[in-house]
Amino acid sequence: MALKRIIIGTPSFSMARQKGWAFVDKTRYLALLENECGTPAPVFLRPRRFGKTFLAEMLYCYYDKSLAGEFEQNFKGTWIYSHKTREAGSFCCLCLDFSAVSSDPGEAGQSMADELACAMRDFACRYPDLGLPCEQLDEYSSACPADLMEAFAKHFMSSARGGERLFIIDECDFLANGILQGIGGEPSHGPGQYGFARDFYACLQRFHGQGAGNPISRLFITGVTDVSLEPLFQGLECARDISSDRKFSAMAGFTHGELSRLADETLDFSAMPKLEKNGLMAAMEEHYDGYSFSDDAQERVFNPNMCLAFLYSVARRGALPKKAPGNGGDPAARLSALLNLADPKARRCICDALARYGQIAAPGALEARPFRGGALGLDEAVRLLLRMGYLTFGGCVNARFRLANRLSSDAFFACLGAKAGQAPTALQG
């Protein structure tokens, strides 16, 4: 069997499938989202570079009517190919990527409107009879996102004569970026400064529903952390956070079985006599020990980006890398910055517990609540570290959370100026 090519980063779903690149089949979750989600507007949060964009593109390729003719190319050989659902290829998808929107409150509204207009131009190319004409988009170039969305929805309603429905796929990280930057600092970065985002999601709520007069039938929203959910849930009342739902705990990330199959598809172990598969799996378990985003998850998952980088290095070198690839940047600096968002008492409690025991109990962290201002308390800070991928569920007894993997552990001790396995000087005694 020909080995599959490993691509680092986020290639488009359709390109990965049509070129036969390495791919982990998550298509069974399409049926779960459609039939067992419990909401037409699920919100799915995972750490950065955990496969959310690839997942969103998979939904687009599966549900968009303009791509129905490519179903064979995109999904042959996958689980969904032989379990096709009734809504496959039945929506007009508006794909919104707000991850690049400026987090500066003074610029974010216009930046969001610009990204929205860009997505609507792409939509008009695929659906010229349903999309907002260019001249109208130009008229709304300085409008707030909610006004632009309202104009688009009304135009779609008046133009859709064949019962067309909208599926909106939304990637939104800029709210988290801006709010996190202002925690414990500039009050202008609080959630209240992003009222335009609340109004935008309220517009989606207004045009959402199963009735004939409501063009938006389904939504799928991804992000990183629930500190940014207040404007979303204030506006989009039908939204539900499924991030900790056991059914979707492995929707992003690789399970042990998936990672094992991926290794078989991308590496020729016969050409690497000094490397056994058991040794490879043990190395990845050591460096990227599984994450759990639900207190009752049936299995843990590995960070997909780091595992792909690891496998790519092995394929190129023919041996285990001397230094395990990370997520880029300085993890100690990132973790230190997150810890500094907590109030002094919470920060000391977290550092002490993790330095001494490698885990911390925080029962209140199980309940997702939007951030409302000020420095983070203990439960909020633990939940933030969980969402950002530094902590993982370590057991349901007393809601314990542990460091997610060895790299995070090293980063944790480094940010405290201590050696791994030792409590920092400031916390000793």
pLDDT category of residue 428 using cuts at 50, 70 and 90: very low
The reply to whether the predicted model has a pTM over 0.85 is yes
What would the DSSP string read from start to end of 255-314? -HHHHHHHHHHH--GGG-TT--HHHHHHHHHHHS--B--STT-SS-BB-HHHHHHHHHHH
* pLDDT at residue 362, rounded to an integer: 85
Question: What 3-state DSSP class applies to 354?
Answer: helix
Taking the domains of the chain in order of start, what are their residue ranges?
25-248, 331-427
Please give the span between the terminal C-alpha atoms of the chain, in angstroms, as a whole number. Answer: 59
What would the DSSP string read from start to end of 384-419? HHHHTTSEEEEETGGGEEEE-SHHHHHHHHHHTT--
**Residue 58 has which token pair?**
């998979």
Fold category of 25-248 in CATH? Rossmann fold (3.40.50)
* pLDDT at residue 192, rounded to an integer: 58
pLDDT category of residue 188 using cuts at 50, 70 and 90: very low
Half-sphere exposure of 82 (CA within 13 A, CB side): 3
pLDDT category of residue 185 using cuts at 50, 70 and 90: very low
* Residue 104, pLDDT above cutoff 90: no
* pLDDT at residue 261, rounded to an integer: 95
* Residue 126, pLDDT above cutoff 50: yes
What is the pLDDT averaged over residues 301-317?
91
